Structure formats: structure tokens, C-alpha cells
Amino acid sequence: MIIRPPSEADSIILQVTVGCSHNKCTFCGTYKDVRFRLKPDEVVEQDIDFAATYCKRQKRVFLADGDALIIPQRRLVDLLQRIRSKIPWINRISLYGNAKSILLKSVEELRELKNLGLDRVYMGLESGSDTVLAAIKKGADSTTMVRAAKQVKDAGLFLSVTALLGIGGIKLSAEHALQTGLVLSAISPNQIAVLTLMLLPNTELYLLGKSKKFTLPSQREMLRELRMMVENITVQKSQFQANHASNYLPLNCRLGRDKEKLLAAIDLALAGEKKLTPEHLRAL
């Protein structure tokens, strides 16, 4: 299974790694039975040749799987050079990068990748609460997340950061919402993408839910969490999107320009005056 951000729906999906280099998050079951590895160069080369022949209308490339930025610098440089050489009409290359893989590279190395066509990095913050981050085994605390984000921005790359509603459960809901808003403000990413937690049977968090050690917030509690998060985001210019299929309330606006409108829309939903996505239509 290959996953990609919603905004990469029309991109060429070039799988250069298999699985996720971290693969310990309690909420994610995408790669649980997959051992992380780099795909052989000759296989990637064949995929690039296929794209060069059959994907002439697509202008973007997304490098999959879960954390392509972990690829060693020289190998990643070579990959981007091959893409530029064989698919010269591509105008944007994107990938996932976790805090560890970002910090393994210097700002100068990230700038080198940018000069070769890398345009944006998608980083999963999930929560700004260190308590929540430790509980979900994210592998980084909020300070590390902010430091990694700064490196991406200092390199001149577009930074998209994901937050996950419900990941603190009912017990840590308020702390999660508040701290996530504050950390997103400290990061000030180009794009904030909010998803809503769905418990998957092959995850540790699902088992915790079955044993009553984790309680997923209700639909209404998720909306309250979203409101508190937005209240505490003070960025001046960032695209805010909660339009993923997992969300109850689809939203797409600019912060801080549209903050009051965003809060008003959430209030209407809380008051029952705005239609929400029914459970059967939600998906990952």
C-alpha cells in the first residue's frame, strides 16, 4: 500500500523506499508488516523511464513511501538529477520527512536538494503535546519538531505540517489541542493539514481502545478540540486545510486572514447548524 498527501493526488507517485524508517507510531498501521528498505536503483530507474514515456501530462512527482528523505544525500541527489534529466517538464517534487530524517541533513544539504527540484516536505507533527508524542511513540518531542521545521524553512522549502485530531484521547484532549496550536504557531508552516484519528484494527492504539485504556473523543469533542487548536494558532500566513476524508467538518482557508471565519464555521457545526460528514463516508 502506498500513501500520499491529498494535495499530491495528481502527481506521479515514484516509490523510492518501501515502508517507513520509523514505523513505531501507535496510531499507524500502514507499514506494520513491512520492513523498511530502499528500492534498488535499477528498479527506480525503470519507474522513471515509465513515467518519462507515459506521464507526460503530469507536472509533479511525489517520492514515496513513508519517509523518502531518509535516503542518503548523495543517492538522493542522484535521484533528483535523474528525474530532472529524464522528466524535464516536472515543476515540483515532494516527499514525506520526519524530524529525524530532516535533522540528519544540514540546511546546506536541504538547499542542494531544493536546487535540484525538491519543492516541499510533508512533516507529521500529529501533536504539540510532549505527553501525547511520547504516548504515541512518535520518536521526537515538540522542541525537536520545531527545530526540524526550522531547517526545512531555512532551506527555502515549502513546509506542510500535519496535526491529528483525537490523538490524545479524551484524557489529553485539551492539552493536545492547546499545545498543538502553540507549536504550529512556533513552526509557522506554509500549510497546516488537520486530519481526524480513525482507529485501525492493526494498530497498538486500536488495542488500547478495545481494552478501555484509550477513549476516542466523540464527534462533538473532536470539534471542540479543533476549535481550541485554531484559537491558539497565531500564524500570519498559512494555508489551513481540514479537507481530508477523515474529517467531520471540511475546511479550507488562509490563516491568519480567515481565522474568525474559521472559528465561526466550527461554532456553527457545534450548534448543529452546519452539516457534518457522516461516519460511513469518512475514510483514510
The verdict on residue 284 lying in a domain is no
Helices vs. strands in the chain: H and E counts, helices first: 10, 10
All residues at 6 or more sequence positions from 167 whose CB lies less than 8 Å from its CB, including other chains: 27, 126, 127, 132, 136, 176, 197
Which whole number is the average pLDDT over 146-161?
Answer: 98
Residue 1 has pLDDT above 80, yes or no: no
Residue 6 has pLDDT above 90, yes or no: no
Range of the domain at 182: 6-274
The share of the chain scoring above pLDDT 90, in percent, equals 88
The verdict on residue 281 lying in a domain is no
Find the CATH number of the domain harbouring 79. Answer: 3.20.20.70
The verdict on residue 218 lying in a domain is yes
Q: What is the mean pLDDT of the chain?
A: 95
The verdict on residue 236 lying in a domain is yes
Q: How many domains does the chain have?
A: 1
All residues at 6 or more sequence positions from 15 whose CB lies less than 8 Å from its CB, including other chains: 2, 39, 44, 47, 64, 65
The verdict on residue 279 lying in a domain is no
Report pLDDT digits (tens) over 197-256: 999 999 999 999 999 999 999 999 999 999 999 999 999 999 999 988 899 999 999 998
Report pLDDT digits (tens) over 66-77: 889 999 999 999
Query: What is this structure's pTM?
Result: 0.95
